[in-house]
Amino acid sequence: MTQEMQFKTIVAQYCEVTPEEMNNTMRFREDLGFSSLDFMSFLGELEDTFDIELEGEEALQVRTIAEALDLLEKLQQEA
Amino acid sequence: MGTLIRDVLEDSANKFADITAVKWLKKKEIFERSYSELMKDAVAVRKGLLAEGFRGKHISLIGASSVEWMESYLGIITGNTIAVPLDAGLPGEDLIDLINRSDSEALFLSPRHKALLDEFLKQCPKLRKIWLLQEEETDSADERIASLAELKAASQKADADADRPEPEDVATIIYTSGTTGKSKGVMLTQYNLASNVEAVEYTAEPGTRVLSVLPIHHAFCLVMDWLKGFSLGATVCINDSLMHMVRNMSIFKPDVMLMVPLMIETIYKKLASVDAAIPKKAVAANVFGGNLKIIFTGGAHLDPYYIDQFAEYGVDVFEGYGMSECSPVISSNTPKIHKAGSIGKPLCNVEVRFENGEILVRGSSVMKGYYQMPEETAETLKDGWLHTGDKGYLDEDGFLFINGRVKNLIILSNGENISPEEIENKLALNMLVGEVIVTGENNGLTARIYPDQEVVAAKRLDGEAVHAALQEFLDQYNKNQPTYRQITGLVVRKNPFIRNSTKKIKRQEALVDEPLPVA
C-alpha cells in the first residue's frame, strides 16, 4: 500500500468517504465532516502510524488532504 | 457528611495515603504521586500563600491538566483563598479580562503561556504575583515572577497554616458562558463542592483508574474526575493531549472515564471502522485498553444509539446532567439505576420542579451566585431555585428528561456552552457585517451574515467578493480562538433577519432567508 493510500485509509475511519473517492482538495471539516475531536484523534494516529511528531499549532492549521500530505512529507524529511 | 471539600480531601489523604493519586506522562515515561505526597504538596502551597499575604484573596490558574495545576488548586481551596480556574485555550485578551473581573491578585501559570507574562503584569493591575507551574526555579529578575517550586520551598520556613474555611465560604469561581455576551463567574462554596462529590452515587475500589480527558477548568472534569475521584481513592491519570486519547487509553488502561458526547462519537467511529470479522472483545481491548467498564457522560445530549453500541463492546455509558451553577451534577444515571435516553434521577441533595417547562433546581450544590453580577444572579436564582434554562420533565419512574432550551446558549457535543451573542458582538465590529446571528449546526458554529448594503455599494462588491471578504474575516477571527469557538460555516444572507415587534432579531427564524413581505 502506498503511503498516500495508507493515509487515506486512516482518514476513511472518520468519515463516510472511501479512500478511492477522496480527492486531495477535500477539506477535513467542511467536506469530510470531521469534528474538531475527530481531527485531533486523526493527528494522533498519523503520529503513531508514520512515527512523526506533530506540533499542535502547525498541524491545526491544516485544512485539506493535500496540506496534510505535504506536512507529513515535510516532517518525514526532517526526521 | 463532611461539610468542607477540605474534609473530603484530608480524609482521603489519611485513608489512601500510599495509593497513587495521580499518574502522568512526561516524554513517554509514566510518573506518579501518592495521596500523602499530593496532600503534602497542597499543604505546602497553602502555607506558602498564607506566608505571602494572600489570605482571603482570589487566585487564578491557567494551564492544561497537570499535577502542578492540581496541587496548586488543592492548596488554594483547602485554605482561605479562592481558586479561579481559567480556560487556557482563550486568547490573551480574554484571559486578561477574566483575571481582572475575578479580582485575582495572584496567578498560577503554565510555562506554555510564559509569553503572556508581561501582558498579564502590565494589564492586570491587581496581580501581585505569578507562579509558573514548574518544579524548576525561574531566572526572572522581576520579584513578582516565581515558580511553584519556589513557593513550596518558601513555605517550609513558615509554621502558620491557614484556618479551616467555613462551609459557606467560596472555594472556587468557575467562569461559564453568559447569555448577555459576558461570561459569568459561578461562586461555589466549600459545602457546594463537598455535597456534590458525596451525592453522586458512584463508588469504586481505591486505586480504580480514571483517565481524565476533559479540560480541567470545567466543573464536570474538576469536580467529578478529580475531587470525586480523590474522595474514592481513585488514581487519576492525566491525558496529555486529545491527539493521544486512544493511545493513552492503552497506556493507562482506565477502568472508568468521563467524556462529553463528542468523544464518544469519535471513539465510536474508530470502533465501527474495524473489520466486522474481528471479535468485539478484541477490538475493545485494543481501543479502550482492556479494563474500561464505565463511561459517564454529560455536558450535552448523547444519542442513546451510542449506549447500545458501546454495550456491545462491554462498556456501559451513563448519561448525566448538570451545570457549573450546580457544582455541577444535578442528575445522573448510575450502574444501579438507569434508563437510556434519560439523564438519570436527580441526586439525593437536589429538589427539582418545573416552571413553564423549565427545570428549576434547589439544594446544597446550588451556587452562591455570580461574582459581582447581582442582576444576573437575581435572574437565575429566585427564592433559592436555580433556573437552569433547560426544559424537561420527570417520567413516571422519576427519571429526568430534557426536551429543549429556554436560553440562547448553543450546546455543542463537546460540552462547550457557546453564547452566540458573545461572538456576534465581536463579528459585528467588521464594517461589512450589517447583521449577524451565530447558530449551532452540524456540531459546529455557523455565522449567518447580512452584509451592510452601504459598504457593499460603496466598495462595489459583487456576491462572490462579499463572500470572499467575509470568509477572510472569519479566518482571521478563528486564528485567535479556541477550536470550539471557531466559526466553521458561513451563510451570506440576501435579506435582513426577521425582527419581532420590539425590533429584536427572531433567532428561531434565523435559518429562514426569504424575500421580505411587501410592506
Q: Model confidence over B24-44: pLDDT tens digits?
A: 999 889 999 999 999 999 999
Say yes or no: B381 and B258 in one domain: yes
In the block, which residue shows the cell 511553584?
Answer: B148
Residue B517 has pLDDT above 60, yes or no: no
In chain B, positions 437-476, which contact chain A (CB-CB < 8 Å)? 442-444
Task: Please give the C-alpha separations between residue B111 and each of A32, B135, B480, in angstroms, as whole numbers.
Answer: 36, 11, 19
Q: Determine the structural domain holding residue A70 and report its residue range.
A: 3-78
Q: Is the pLDDT of residue B516 over 70?
A: no
Q: What is the mean pLDDT of residues B240-269?
A: 92
Strands (E), B326-432: 329-332, 345-346, 350-355, 358-363, 369-370, 381-382, 385-394, 400-405, 410-411, 417-418
Percent of the residues in chain B that have a pLDDT greater than 90, as a whole number: 70
CATH of the domain at B309: 3.40.50.12780
Give me B310's grid cell: 458501546
Domain shared by B403 and B468, yes or no = no
Q: Which band of pLDDT confidence, cut at 50, 70 and 90, is reported for residue B503? A: low
Quick one: B152 and B132 in the same domain? yes
Among B493, B489, B495, B488, smallest CA distance to B517 is for: B495
pLDDT score, position B505? 80
Which residues between 378 and 437 in chain B have a beta carbon less than 8 angstroms from any beta carbon of chain A? 413-414
Residues B259 and B383 in one domain: yes
For helices A65-78 and A36-50, give the axis angle rounded to 10 degrees.
Answer: 30
Residue B359 falls inside a structural domain:
yes
Cα B105 from chain centroid (whole Å): 22
Q: Which residue of A has its CA nearest to B27?
A: A53
Q: Show which of residues 47-66 on chain A sit within 8 Å of chain B, judged by CB atoms.
A: 47-48, 54, 56, 60
For residue B111, give the DSSP letter.
G
Residue showing cell 470531521 = A34
Cell numbers at B149, concatenated? 517550586
Q: Count up the domains in chain B and report the number.
A: 3
- At residue B511, does pLDDT exceed 90? no
In a domain, B106, yes or no: yes
3-state SS, residue B103? coil
B311 and B434 together in one domain: no
Question: Letter for the amino acid at B221?
Answer: C
Residue B63 maps to which CATH number?
A: 3.40.50.980
Average confidence (pLDDT) over B138-155: 92
Quote the minimal CA–CA distance from A58 to chain B in Å: 12
Same-domain status, B443 and B302: no
Residues 6+ apart with CB under 8 A from B74: B9, B38, B39, B42, B45
B502: confidence class by pLDDT, cuts 50, 70, 90 = low
DSSP β-bridge partners for residue B451: B433
Same domain assignment for residues B387 and B257? yes
Tell me: do B403 and B452 sit in the same domain: no
Interface test with B, best of A11, A35, A42, A50 (most B CBs within 10 A): A35
Find the domain containing B394 and state its range. 196-363+374-408
Residue B159 C-alpha cell reads as 509554621
Among residues B231, B216, B237, which one has the least CA distance to residue B33?
A: B237
- Report the range of poorest mean pLDDT among B66-80, B93-107, B498-512: B498-512
- Cα separation of B240 and B246, whole Å? 11
Contact status, residue B439 vs residue B482, Cβ threshold 8 Å: no
What pLDDT is stored for residue B518 in this prediction? 46
DSSP string, B25-68: EETTEEEEEEHHHHHHHHHHHHHHHHHTT-TT-EEEEESSS-HH
Residues 189-208 of B with CB under 8 A from A: none
Q: Are B121 and B254 within one domain?
A: no
**Burial of B338 (C-beta count, 10 Å sphere; 0-12/13-18/19+):** middle
**Residue B340: all three cell numbers together:** 437510556
The conformation of residue B258, written as its DSSP 8-state character, comes to E
- Quickly count: other Cβ atoms within 10 Å of residue B168's Cβ: 11
CATH number at residue A60: 1.10.1200.10
Residue B211 has pLDDT above 90, yes or no: yes
Q: Can you give the pLDDT at residue A57?
A: 73
- Is pLDDT at B213 greater than 70 in this prediction? yes
pLDDT tens figures, B3-23: 899 999 999 999 999 999 999
Report the pLDDT value the prediction gives residue B421, as an integer from 0 to 100.
82
Q: What is the mean pLDDT of residues B181-196?
A: 93
Classify residue B183: in a domain, yes or no: no
Q: Using a CB cutoff of 8 Å and minimum separation of 24, what contacts does B25-32 make? A: B25/B238, B25/B240, B25/B248, B25/B251, B30/B251, B31/B67, B32/B235
In the predicted model, is pLDDT for residue B75 greater than 90? Answer: yes
Rounded mean pLDDT of B271-277?
86
Q: How far apart are CA B97 and CA B93, in angstroms?
A: 6
Specify the pLDDT at position B422.
Answer: 80
pLDDT the model gives residue B431 = 87
Q: For B344-357, b where at least 16 C-beta lie within 10 A, e where not — what string?
A: bbbbebbebeeeee
Is the distance from CB of B167 to CB of B4 less than 8 angstroms?
A: yes
Contact B414 A36 (CB under 8 A): yes
Amino acid at B190: Q
pLDDT band for B179, please (50, 70, 90 cuts): low
Same domain, B243 and B146: no
Tell me whether residues A12 and B246 touch, CB distance under 8 A: no
Q: Chain A contact for B241, CB < 8 A? A: yes
For residues B27 and B30, what is the distance between their CA atoms, to the nearest angstrom? 8
CA nearest B241: which of B283, B207, B274, B211? B211
Mean predicted confidence (pLDDT) in B457-475: 93
From chain B, the residues in CB contact with A44 under 8 A are 241-247
Confidence of residue A24 (pLDDT cuts 50, 70, 90): very high
ipTM: 0.82
Q: Do B340 and B242 sit in the same domain of this protein?
A: yes
Percent of chain B with pLDDT over 70: 97
Q: Tell me, yes or no, whether B25 lies in a domain.
A: no
Cα dist from B466 to A50, B327, B457, whole Å? 41, 45, 11
On whether both B65 and B157 belong to a single domain, the answer is: yes
Q: In whole numbers, what is the pLDDT of chain B averaged over residues?
A: 91
pLDDT confidence bin for B501, thresholds 50/70/90: low
Average pLDDT over residues A19-33: 91
Highest mean pLDDT among B49-58, B398-407, B492-501: B49-58
**B490 interface with A at CB cutoff 8 Å:** no
Q: What is the pTM of this model?
A: 0.85
Rounded to an integer, the average pLDDT of B140-148 is: 94
Name the minimum distance, in Å, from the CA of B70 to any CA of chain A: 23
At B382-404, the pLDDT tens digits run 999 999 989 899 999 999 998 87
- The number of folded domains in chain A is 1
Q: What is the DSSP letter of A69?
A: H
For residue B115, being part of any structural domain is answered with yes
Which residues between 15 and 44 in chain A have a beta carbon less than 8 angstroms from any beta carbon of chain B? 29-30, 33, 35-38, 40-41, 43-44
